[in-house]
Amino acid sequence: MQPRSRLAHSLPTIFVLALSASTAPAGIVYDEGIDGDFSGDRFNPTDLVLSEGVNLITATSIRDDREYVTMTIPAGLQLDSLVLVSYEGLDETAFIGVQAGDIMSEPPSGANPANLLGWTHFGPGAGNVGADILPEIGMGFDAIGFTPPLPGGDYTFWIQQTGTSAATYTMEFNVSPEPASLVLLGAAQLFLRRRR
C-alpha cells in the first residue's frame, strides 16, 4: 500500500508543476537567422510587440547592416530590464540607442543625442555582457535620459556594429505588469480629466 499512497500524494504536485509551466508568461523570440534581417530603414523599422515575460532577440550587425526595431510595450506593461545575454564578434564594442516613437529620426552619422531617450555601447569591450544595460542606456551622454522601468508605449531601437567584423548578440527584454498603484493612478487621472 505504501507505493500507492506516495503516488497519490505526488500527483497534485505534478499537476501544479505542469500547470505553472504551461501558464508561465513568455514573450516573443526573434532570431535574424530564422526570421530574417531586421529592417535597415530607420523610417520603417521592424515592428515587434513585446509580451509579459522574457522577449529574446538575436541579431548580427556589421558595417552598413544596422538594426532598427520598434518595440511596442502594451499599455499596462513595462520594460524592466534589457539584458545582454551574449555577444560574439572580433570587434568587441557595438552601439545601441533608443528613441520614443515608431521611427528613428537620427541618421547613422551626425546623430543628435539630445533627440534620443538614451544610448550606450555594449559587448565585451564595454564590459556589460550578462548585464542589464537598460540603466546605462538611460544615462547616455547628452540624451534625454530615463530611469527604468520604461512604461507602455512605442520605442525604436537603433543597434549597430560599425566595424567590419560582424557582431552577433542576444538581448533579453524583460516585461512585467506595471504596479497596480500606477494603473490605479492612471485610471484616477483619466476619471478626473473626464469630469472636468
Site for Ca ion, rule CB under 5 A: 37, 59, 65
| Residue 161: CB minimum distance to Ca ion, A | 9
**Which of 115, 162 has the CB closer to Ca ion?**
162
- Whole-angstrom Cα distance, residue 138 to residue 144? 8
Q: With 0-12 CB in 10 A as exposed, 13-18 as middle and 19+ as buried, what is 130?
A: exposed
| Residue 103: CB minimum distance to Ca ion, A | 18
- Whole-angstrom Cα distance, residue 111 to residue 165? 23
**Which of 94, 133 has the CB closer to Ca ion?**
94
Nearest C-alpha neighbor of 161 from the set 121, 111, 192, 109: 121
**Which of 98, 167 has the CB closer to Ca ion?**
167
**Which of 31, 142 has the CB closer to Ca ion?**
31
- Whole-angstrom Cα distance, residue 132 to residue 109? 26
| Residue 38: CB minimum distance to Ca ion, A | 5
| Residue 24: CB minimum distance to Ca ion, A | 29
